[in-house]
A and B are shown apart, each in its own frame.
Chain A
């Protein structure tokens, strides 16, 4: 479904991605783990077209999206929940959700999806008229995921959904991630520093170090891998 071939991305003269290749199949949950500064966020930013790719190719369902603008990429069904949630602070919860469906014209279906996400996270229904910036971190993360779901994505890119959240909230978020994948067959590409958690929900994982993919395997193999356990799982 999504294929990155030898992708290189630069910030000025600094090479952030040094030629990475990743492949994701329809319906999978794939995780990308690695330390701070390894290039995980840059990978997602390159996919969604925010940071231009200098060399290599990114294709979605056989079609190259390397040179497309972010809004065209969104219109293909790729939705990105960026790190830090990035809720529109002065828009209400409902307006934030409405922005998620910005490119859609099928009003009745959008209304259905709104019901679906409010059902998924009932707390958002309670807070519907509150400004996004006044929500707690956990609520903002729920809103960020819901906003992305409002676009009815076929591929969901999640960047550090557990960052800065209480363990109980993290657990809830990860349950929902699995649920979205199981119920809607939405493909999910999950970037996480919390490798233990990510590998438990993902089918496959990639390990990133200093702009390179150093390892890729089924999640359970990675969880069992001695080096991975030492480096990322703290065991």
Chain B
């Protein structure tokens, strides 16, 4: 077997997996806290990419250096997407918090369609070129033929985001409040947690990571349109379910498993069936582990 080809596929899978993970974290956190599948989450990622594109275009006109543009565009995209995530929760989900879960789900799908069409009308239905904001780093030259520096940056950023979020959840006051809320919302209220604030914070964190993923992948692939959030969102959702929805490490593992399986199937078998393999894999895993790789079985309430 050609080892270099294998390695290439491995890194390609890692790139996909990292991006899925950045989006899947939002799905899984929101599910963990409010038990809602936020189908509009992919659109937040798409809006992040668009914000990045607009800010990057503006700064390029002003002649800023590429790395500064990347940082500022990412931050702007994160802030803008956070505002969207926060607002979305307030208008589309909060009023339905006591309604049957199906209503909130329909509202999420509606939100997703609304945002897609809003960007379609406000921007354009065509693919837009996204400038490559990630400079080629000199020290990466020896491995350049297998991994581009944009890929290396994606791994690094994803790893940093994972570690930061894990520490945040484990040690900060807000993190503790989030864990308590996800385990028993009413009891969290009874110890004094402001659950509304926790829910807003969850949407904000999830939106920020998705937007970051949006800018990075857009810069890596080089083009975006209003529809990119749909498939990326569905795949990330699959990854979150695969890993065990509600579990953060699960979302990361699920994303990597999905990224690698797509990459290897495409590389060794056929690229036409990429999505087929991804979903086939989901079905197989869910047959044997219905709650996902790291998912918890619903604990019985005594």
Contact = CB atoms under 8 A, between A and B. Distances in A.
B190 A70 contact: yes
Interface string A92-129: 00010011101100000000000000000000000000
A71 B176 contact: no
A88 B192 contact: no
Interface residues of A, number: 30
A48 B299 contact: no
Interface stretch (A56-64, A79-87, A192-200, A225-233): A79-87
B193 interface: yes
Contacts of B188: 99
Given A82-B187, A84-B301, A137-B302, A71 B180 contact: no
A36 interface: no
A133 interface: yes
B186 A99 contact: no
Interface residues of B, number: 21
B1 interface: no
A107 to B, nearest CB: 12
A86 B186 CA distance: 9
B183 interface: yes
A77 to B, nearest CB: 11
A71 B173 CA distance: 15
B4 interface: no
A69 interface: yes
Interface of B: 173, 176-177, 179-180, 183-184, 186-195, 296, 299, 301-302
A50 interface: yes
Nearest to B183: A88
A7 interface: no
A137 B300 CA distance: 13
23 contacts: A50-B189, A70-B189, A71-B189, A71-B193, A71-B195, A80-B190, A82-B187, A84-B302, A86-B186, A88-B179, A88-B180, A90-B179, A90-B183, A99-B188, A99-B191, A100-B191, A102-B176, A102-B192, A102-B193, A103-B191, A103-B192, A133-B299, A140-B302
A75 interface: yes
B145 to A, nearest CB: 46
Contacts of B186: 50, 82, 86
B190 A75 contact: no
A69 B190 contact: no
B179 to A, nearest CB: 7
A157 B214 CA distance: 49
Contact of B190 (A50, A84, A137): A50
A223 interface: no
Interface of A: 48-50, 69-71, 74-75, 79-80, 82, 84-86, 88-91, 95, 98-100, 102-103, 133, 137, 140, 147, 151, 164
B176 A69 contact: no
Given A84-B302, A95-B176, A89 B183 contact: yes
Contact of A71 (B183, B192, B301, B302): B192
B299 A89 contact: yes
Contacts of A88: 179-180, 183-184, 187
Contacts of A74: 190-192
A48 B176 contact: no
A138 to B, nearest CB: 12
Given A86-B187, A99-B180, 5 more contacts: A71-B195, A95-B176, A102-B192, A147-B191, A151-B191
Contacts of B183: 88-91
B176 A99 contact: yes
B180 A91 contact: yes
Nearest to A137: B302
A49 B193 CA distance: 13
Contact of A69 (B173, B194, B299): B194
Contacts of A90: 179, 183, 296
Interface centre among B184, B188, B191, B296 (most CB of A within 10 A): B191
Contacts of A147: 191
Interface centre among B179, B189, B194, B299 (most CB of A within 10 A): B189
A99 B183 CA distance: 12
A71 B186 CA distance: 11
Contacts of B180: 88, 91, 99, 102
Given A88-B184, A88-B187, A164 B302 contact: yes
Given A50-B186, A133-B299, A164-B302, A151 B192 contact: yes
A91 B195 CA distance: 18
A86 B184 contact: yes
Contacts of B192: 70-71, 74-75, 102-103, 151
Nearest to B197: A71
Name the 5 nearest CB pairs between A and B, nearest first: A74-B192, A70-B189, A103-B192, A86-B187, A88-B183
Nearest to B186: A50
Interface centre among A49, A69, A71, A133 (most CB of B within 10 A): A71
